[in-house]
Structure 1
Amino acid sequence: MGNFTQLPAELQIQIFDYLHAADVKSARAVSRTFRNNATPALFRSIVACARYQALGAFQNVSLHSIYSGYVREIIFDGTLYDGHLAKDHRNYSRAEEASGKFQSGSFYAMRTRWKRYQELHKEQESMKEDGVLLQSCARGLENMQNISSIVYSPYQHTIPMEVKTLRDLLPRGAIPGTLSDNRTTGSDHPFRQLIGAVFLSDYTGIRQLTIEAPREDHPRTELSLDMFSFPDTNDLNAGKHLFRNLVKLDMSLSILNIQSQTTHPMTEIDPPDRQLENLAKVLEAAQELRHLSFGILNWSYLNRLMWDGSNIPEGRSIIDFIGLGATWPKLRSLKLEGLYARERDLCELINRHKDTLRAITFARCTLCAGLWLEVVNEVVFNASMIATFELDHVNEQTARSLNTIHSFNPDLGYEGRLVVTKDGEREFVRSSPVLESNLFC
């Protein structure tokens, strides 16, 4: 402890930033110095969401003369209360029983919990329409001028003042193993209002956007392609405004599946190809981008939606449609996961960025045409600035029809990495005993 207290305040503040909130709170009680140096860690991230209690806490921090300056990141809790459960107490009761986490009790107790859940769902729905979330986020950005990062989280982030209210309620988002209308974000999801708030406040300080990947064993609301339905011109402008200043983008995107097509019906103005077109436009706007990690979840469903012989013109690939046909003049690292592409698309992508790229990874990607051998050769022989290159469970599809693809088999594929010797020799080395192919012959 004595050595720690002798550290400069700047170092103490950085160290406290790595501790859990409970530990930081304990440290604040040690001394006035610790309180002053530990406090910034408590307010480094702030939660935004469509819940009145949490939004009230957001507003209080944004209006605080000191704490507002500590905030560096907005974490948007994307989980939502389920309309199916809020509509009927019998649905809620069945969900409680299916979860196995609630002790059997009286009908009155269950109904009391359901009524509380119903009220919270009602608040959530009203916040989608009354503009409170949009305006609160916009004013918050005006007051918290040090925010540089936005995180969309598909998981619950319950703030302390909500714990008592939510302690015995079903979690928000889709509960694993159950059908839910909150598995993916709809086109009216509240996260759109945070994006709108960045545009409304003309805030240009966001340098990093993270769309967290969901885990199958957690209640969640995945960010889906529906978020790129832009019925109004300002929707596209708001998206471009956010992406235009990004230096780092880490995006895991859930492509609409069969269930979500029923839950969030398509309209004539936002079919999948239009949503993909909008995604491509905002990605192209990110001309300051240096680090890009882009992953598609449930990519097999994209085949069913797009590859029906009419939606994709001859000669174009899904790479074009999701925006990876763009050029980012400052790009230094690239990771692509879950893509279905042609060899030439990936080679062209590498070639366009070979003067700036230093690291590239392809994970769980499938070539619908061509060989990974050619992609490897492009990196090894034609992109000498790339020092880190990895293939992580990639494979090749020989069938012509994309409709034959249903899922990615991680046990079949190629793995390997680039090795650069002290003399500058470059060699691609197989790293695991996976499927034999021309790639390693």
Structure 2
Amino acid sequence: MKNITTVIYSPGPHCIPIEAKLVRDLLPRGVVDHGNYNEWSIRPRIPSQHGIHHLIAAFYTANYNGVRVFRMNRPNLPHSNGRRIIGETTSISNFKFPRPNDIIAAKHFFCRLHTLTLNMSLLGARSASDNLDALSHLAFLLSSARDLQELDFHLLDWDCEPHHAYGHIIPDGQPIFSYLGLSAKWPHLQKISLEGVYATQDELQSIMRRNGKTLSEVRFGFCSLLVGHWSNLVDDVVYSSRVSTFALDHVNEAFIQGVPFHQLDEVDRSGWQYVGELKLDSANERYFVQLTLPIF
């Protein structure tokens, strides 16, 4: 194991062309032939995801902590014949460790990571308590990853109505941010990307303030503010931070002039989503450019 520095946990196979022809009629474990995922379609296959526990345990058993990059890829992989194949969606269930030593092994694996990419679904656990246990474990592991320099934290279940996104875990439209482990401080963090997260303005600003001495790149995609305004967060970045690369990608506020965002029609919702990025002018002055979304 001494030369392993990168581990990629993939939801589908990565066949080179010569292999693809040989295995084209096979249905590898972890791959299904449709893309309609929901809690019920994922639930029967949860046991197959426990392979990640064995992977992490192998590094712990070997007392190896040289892995610096760990990526959980998202589904929807290109296929050799031009179609798209949908791999097994990595769910939060991966962090529901069944044995006491599993969390110890996971901490051993996470604590030396420099780059962490998580693409996860919040669907799949058998109960709200199982989901909360898994989120608690994930939060512990993120707080243990003190060497992190790059973090991509992407939830794949974003919905314009928070209840549909995570109401099976946390009721009453509360922000899920505080359950995700994103309140940790990473002394070396340089880059962070969040997707699919419901939070408040203060919670997102707190990430940049806690890690402000090192953080240089920030991206929020399909994130929703339950309290606050994106304009305030943008001003904070432009005028009060050292962040040099900043982007918003289809973010929104959960209430528009008192009306829940999900109650707007599709055209209005598109008009109230924000896309933009930080720029420098000829005098090296920072400013934010908001892009106009196409309306279909």
TM range (shorter): 0.7 to 0.9
Q: Does 1:297 align with 2:183?
A: no
**Residue 164 of structure 1, CA deviation:** 8.5
Aligned to 1:418: 278
CA, structure 1 residues 198+276, in 2 after alignment: closer, same or farther (shift >3 Å)? Answer: same
Aligned to 1:255: 122
Q: Does 1:157 align with 2:52?
A: no
Relative contact order higher in (CA < 8 Å, ≥ 6 apart):
2
Q: Does 1:238 align with 2:105?
A: yes
5 Å-filtered alignment, 1:306-317, equals 306-309=169-172, 317=175
Aligned to 1:287: 146
CA displacement 1:43-98 (0-9 Å, x = unmatched):
xxxxxxxxxxxxxxxxxxxxxxxxxxxxxxxxxxxxxxxxxxxxxxxxxxxxxxxx
The separation in 2 between residues aligned to 1:155 and 1:416, in whole angstroms, is 32
Which of 357, 373, 392 matches 2:249?
392
CA displacement 1:137-163 (0-9 Å, x = unmatched):
xxxx3xxx1110000111123589987
CA, structure 1 residues 202+375, in 2 after alignment: closer, same or farther (shift >3 Å)? Answer: same
**Residue 422 of structure 1, CA deviation:** 4.8
Greater gyration radius: 1
Query: 1:418 is matched by which residue type in structure 2?
Result: L
**Structure with higher strand content:** 2
Q: Does 1:221 align with 2:88?
A: yes
Q: TM-score under structure 1 normalisation?
A: 0.56
The separation in 2 between residues aligned to 1:284 and 1:175, in whole angstroms, is 37
Query: 2:86 is matched by which residue type in structure 1?
Result: P
**C-alpha contact (below 8 Å) 2:247/2:276 kept by paired residues:** yes
The separation in 1 between residues aligned to 2:254 and 2:277, in whole angstroms, is 21
**Residue 299 of structure 1, CA deviation:** 3.4
RMSD: 3.3
Sequence identity (%): 33
How many residues matched? Answer: 277
Matched residue of 1:293: which SS? strand
**Residue 424 of structure 1, CA deviation:** 3.6
CA, structure 1 residues 364+167, in 2 after alignment: closer, same or farther (shift >3 Å)? Answer: closer
**Residue 178 of structure 1, CA deviation:** 6.5
Query: 1:304 is matched by which residue type in structure 2?
Result: G
Query: 2:64 is matched by which residue type in structure 1?
Result: Y
5 Å-filtered alignment, 1:64-103, equals none
**Residue 277 of structure 1, CA deviation:** 0.8
The separation in 1 between residues aligned to 2:51 and 2:214, in whole angstroms, is 36
CA displacement 1:354-388 (0-9 Å, x = unmatched):
111111111111111110011111111111x2111
**Structure with higher helix content:** 1
Which of 214, 218, 222 matches 1:360?
218
The separation in 2 between residues aligned to 1:160 and 1:428, in whole angstroms, is 44
**C-alpha contact (below 8 Å) 1:350/1:378 kept by paired residues:** no
**Residue 421 of structure 1, CA deviation:** 3.2
CA, structure 1 residues 278+386, in 2 after alignment: closer, same or farther (shift >3 Å)? Answer: same
Runs (5+) with no aligned partner, structure 1: 1-140, 436-441
**C-alpha contact (below 8 Å) 1:186/1:224 kept by paired residues:** no
Matched residue of 1:194: which SS? helix
Runs (5+) with no aligned partner, structure 2: 78-83
Matched residue of 1:335: which SS? strand
